[in-house]
Amino acid sequence: MTRPTAVRAGRAGARGRGGRGGKGGGAPPPPAGPPPLVTVEEGKYEGQLEGKLGRVRAQFGGLAGFSSEGLEVFRSEKSHYRMRAEFRVWHEGDESFHIMFHGGTQSRRVRVDNFTVGSRLMNEAMGVVMEGVRASEVLRHKLYQCNYLTTLSGQCLVTMVYHKLLGPEWEAEAEALREKLARAPQAAPEHVPALVGRSRGQKTVLGRDFVVEKMEVGGAERQYRQVEASFSQPNGFMCQHMLNWALDATRGRGGGLLELYCGNGNFCIALAPNFDSVLATELSRVGIAAAKYNLEANRVENVKVAAISAEEFSAAYLDKQPHKKLQKADIDLSEFSFGTVLVDPPRAGLDDLTVKLVSTFDTIVYISCNPDTLHANLEELCNSHDVKRFAVFDQFPYTDHIECGVLLQRRTAAEPADAAA
């Protein structure tokens, strides 16, 4: 039986959590072979990025106002750029190690000892965790997944997922492992890694179940609580670029901002200084709680958060009818003078009703993780708006994935559509 080779690999990122699988059991180990998934080859970075930009220019070239020459490009760090990742854990004899799957199929498993796309802090934690797991049968037994969440500010959270109930013995061993994860014996509390144990219907938290990211936005530091098992931007460096681009794109707009899909308040907190008032909507209870905490932590006082979906809000706004979810949050839409809307939807893009809502705004900021659904939405929106700025954010180097930011402005009745450059 061929032993798997350790590879420097990573997984192409996309929004949403990865699936959970079973443990290794008696199945064959990961096969040897060429490095799969994402391989960091820094010398090829510029060529691969140029290929992505060529596809963007070809796909969006016919839209009103789009300019190939005016394309704004934000390059990623070439390695150690990913702040979070999920790994299955494979057990073979006395060995335990991280694995990932190649091509979305569980039949092709790859051992991952060095995760070159992951942050350096993540790589340090991965080594310590596997060393601790191999040394402790309590930690090792029925462990089948490890998730890592790190920050640019130096915080780390490890989630260990099991096929068993976690009792006092596990908690004692896990606390000892957490102490080993601290990089300095006298580390400040915020820099002692947190550890969460999960099994079906059970969650055990050692330290905390979140990290706090700190980013430089518009010359000021912003902090964001990122909660375990919830969405956060994987590439922290690129997230910082996205926030600063959106802040610059909306500078001087004033009036009211509506944000749909606000998550933990990532954009509305950064953009709040540019507007008199902001209404942000989000459906996830975890996201809403994090957003409210982050607003308070950053002393942002002109933002209200509503627990309502984009579709529900669109229907209420277009029909000019009160909605019970808005009333529950004590939000009166007549108090807002909206001129700008920001949307950051999932890969499926905007539904037809939300496109109709968005088209009623003079200024649109569209953050997209899927160029195909972005293009479909822009074909509709460019019937009334022109593209004024178009940014490309290389969130996941060495993959086909790319994210975009678009600023659109409504045409007046007398203005023809801008010709695409």
- The residues carrying an active-site annotation are 369, 403
Q: What is d(CA 179, CA 333) in angstroms, rounded to the nearest whole number?
A: 50
> What is the 3 state secondary structure string of 215-273?
EEECCEEEEEEEECCCCCCCEHHHHHHHHHHHHHHCCCCCCEEEEECCCCCHHHHHHHH
- For residue 3, what are the CA distances in angstroms to 9, 25, 27, 202? 17, 16, 13, 34
DSSP string over 53-84: HHHHHHHHTTSTT--STT-EEEPPPSSS-B-E
Q: Which two tokens stand for residue 114?
A: 């060095």
Q: How far apart are CA 136 and CA 306, in angstroms?
A: 46
Strand 72-74 relative to strand 385-393, pairing:
parallel
- Three-state secondary-structure class, residue 324: helix
- Enumerate the β-bridge partners of residue 72: 391
Structure tokens at 228: 């375990």
Type of residue numbered 206: L
Angle value at C-alpha 32, between 26 and 35, nearest 5 degrees: 130
Q: Where are the alpha helices (DSSP H) in 67-142?
A: 120-135, 137-140
Could you tell me which of 310, 421, 317 has the C-alpha nearest to residue 366?
Answer: 310
The DSSP bridge pattern shows strands 277-282 and 256-260 to be parallel
Type of residue numbered 208? R
Q: How far apart are the first and last CA of the chain?
A: 58
Q: Which two tokens stand for residue 201?
A: 């219907």
Q: Which DSSP symbol is given to 44?
A: G
